[in-house]
Structure 1
Amino acid sequence: MAEIVKVEHLQKKFGKFHALSDVSFTVNQGEVLGFIGPNGAGKSTTIRTLLGIIHSDGGQAEIFGKDVWKDSLEIHKRISYVPGDVALWGSLTGGEIIDLFMKLHGNGNKAKRDALIQKFELDPKKKAKNYSKGNRQKVGLIAALSVDSDLYIFDEPTSGLDPLMEAIFQDEVEKIKQAGKAIILSSHILSEVERLADKIAIIRQGKVVETGTLAELRHLTRSTITVQTKEDVATFKNLDGVHDFVQKDDEATFSADHAAMNEILATAAKLGVMKFESVPPTLEDLFMRHYEA
């Protein structure tokens, strides 16, 4: 797959404050990168740097093999972007704004626009000043999804949308991913990222602290085991890699390191398994691992 986005050791300071100290990741063609972190971690600063809105103080960032600052105008012809709070011209209707964005981009699809307006249940004839935050987001999403781009950047795109509209957005992301487009998705909705992302980059205090596929990152966290055995289930308590052991009658629940699974399974077999459930860690588990402190 072709490499669409390449970020290496990106840095940005605002006065003495280091907004970005070391941000590195790549996004390939047909790939969704889930870019997650709390407010103030550096997500939006990274995205604004990629868009050529602000200049970095160090490191390197390229899109389509071009420098994001020097070649921003060329890059913008091939990307779509939706911020977390879409600002619109209040005197124009939603439909007029969508058409304007499509015309500025140059690769608009009117049939797709009409279908998306219906799916997102947007009234395109209403003035933008009368829209709720959710409807403003719909305008931005419809405009971005109605044009043919090679890279889509979504920064908290479903902010203000109800769960049904979130599901429609997720379906549309799946479609553009299948069409071979690259996507950067920054979101606080971890279930959304978990469903859509091929790989994850977790940013903390301006530094990417973990990156990789969700399967790879799950190796770094513990699964939750519930086991019931014929013989004394307390045997599991003393195994290496077993944590937070809780026993109730002949059933035990505990968290387990990935490396300890073979020994846990072997022990369960010896004790006579009556019930064995293993729940893999969620993206939220991994996220909290870096922020619970």
Structure 2
Amino acid sequence: MTEVVKVHGLQKKFGKFQALKDVTFTVEPGEVVGFIGPNGAGKSTTIRTLLGIIKRDAGNVEIFGKDVWKDSLDIHKRISYVPGDVSLWGSLTGGEIIDLFLKLHGGGDKQKRDYLIKRFELDPKKKAKGYSKGNRQKVGLIAALSVDSDLYIFDEPTSGLDPLMEAIFQEEVEKIKESGKSILLSSHILSEVERLADKVVIIRQGEIVETGTLDDLRHLARSTVTLETEGDVAEMNKVNGVFDFKQTDNQATFSADNQYLNEILMEASKLGVKKFESVPPTLEDLFMRHYEG
């Protein structure tokens, strides 16, 4: 089956500033792709190009096998999008705006709309000009999640939401994922991406620096090992693949290259292992690896 989203060699300049340099990634059918990077890395520029809001300078960008610039109207009928800062009509109520969004999209599930309004604890009768940022985000999320789309694009969707509402959003996205829909999720909340994403795309200064499943990417980073032995644990500091060694009595904590874990465990066994814990790197560890300094 063809890719739902296909970005190849995407480039975009604003004046002399090169915002995107050869950006390449895909979103497969039924896949959740976490698109991460700090502010200014090029996430929103990439997403606006996908939506046909801005025109690329070079490269090939397709959704459902169609060109995002030429065929944007056809593409938009099959996607739902929530930006990081939802703008609303101040004189309309939240409920009226949700219904307008659903009408503009061509329908929507009104039962699901009512269910989501309750779940997100939104007052639909309140005028939008009285909404906080978090409530504006809720309006966008409820409208997007009430529509049965083939692709959902979320650009920092939980910005302004409290942790409880973030958790509810994650649960609703998991339901979409289970129904086989494709999702592109740009988020600064790395635990959110770690929970939801099948694949991670890391962008830095307009370039893709890493792409793969979390398991794939974890092979590139070091695990954290906690070891307690009967013999002198200081001997482990000499073993290949051991870094950042710290010792307290006969317990040590260190970073370990995954390719050396078997050798490390064999050497530890010679000292009489009382405790051995190996924790794989988190998405935050992988992310910081690209952004430290």
Quote the residue 1:282 is aligned against.
282
Query: Within 5 Å, which residues of 2 pair with 1:256-267?
Result: 256-267=256-267
The letter of the residue matching 2:268 is A
Cα distance in 2 for residues equivalent to 1:2 and 1:274 = 51
SS of 2:35 mapped into structure 1? strand
**Number of residue pairs matched?**
293
Quote the residue 1:255 is aligned against.
255
Aligned-pair CA distance for 1:236: 1.1
Cα distance in 1 for residues equivalent to 2:92 and 2:41 = 35
Aligned-pair CA distance for 1:210: 0.1
Runs of 5+ in structure 2 lacking a partner? none
Are 1:103 and 2:108 counterparts?
A: no
Contact 2:2 2:65 in 1 (8 A): no
Q: Scaled by the length of structure 1, what TM-score is found?
A: 0.99
Structure 1 segments (4+ residues) deviating >2 Å? none
1:174-209: CA deviation from partner (whole Å, max 9, x where unpaired): 011111110000000000000000000000000000
1:4-39: CA deviation from partner (whole Å, max 9, x where unpaired): 001111100001100001211111111110000000
RMSD: 0.7
Query: Within 5 Å, which residues of 2 pair with 1:117-156?
Result: 117-156=117-156
Cα distance in 2 for residues equivalent to 1:107 and 1:211 = 36
SS of 1:84 mapped into structure 2? coil
Quote the residue 1:64 is aligned against.
64
Are 1:55 and 2:55 counterparts?
A: yes
The letter of the residue matching 2:140 is G
The letter of the residue matching 2:64 is F
Identical-pair percentage: 79
Contact 2:12 2:18 in 1 (8 A): yes
Contact 1:12 1:20 in 2 (8 A): yes
Quote the residue 1:186 is aligned against.
186
Contact 1:107 1:148 in 2 (8 A): no
Contact 1:91 1:129 in 2 (8 A): yes
SS of 2:9 mapped into structure 1? strand
Cα distance in 1 for residues equivalent to 2:155 and 2:18 = 21
Are 1:14 and 2:28 counterparts?
A: no
1:136-189: CA deviation from partner (whole Å, max 9, x where unpaired): 000000000000100000000000000110000000000111111100000000
SS of 1:25 mapped into structure 2? strand
The letter of the residue matching 2:6 is K
Contact 1:229 1:275 in 2 (8 A): yes
Q: Scaled by the length of structure 2, what TM-score is found?
A: 0.99
Aligned-pair CA distance for 1:107: 3.5
Quote the residue 2:90 is aligned against.
90
Cα distance in 2 for residues equivalent to 1:252 and 1:177 = 41
Quote the residue 2:223 is aligned against.
223
Greater shift in the superposed pair: 264-273 or 200-209: 264-273
Cα distance in 2 for residues equivalent to 1:264 and 1:235 = 11
Quote the residue 1:113 is aligned against.
113
SS of 1:19 mapped into structure 2? strand
Cα distance in 2 for residues equivalent to 1:3 and 1:203 = 20
Contact 2:21 2:206 in 1 (8 A): yes
The letter of the residue matching 1:278 is S
Cα distance in 2 for residues equivalent to 1:70 and 1:183 = 22
Aligned-pair CA distance for 1:2: 4.5
Cα distance in 2 for residues equivalent to 1:96 and 1:158 = 22
Runs of 5+ in structure 1 lacking a partner? none
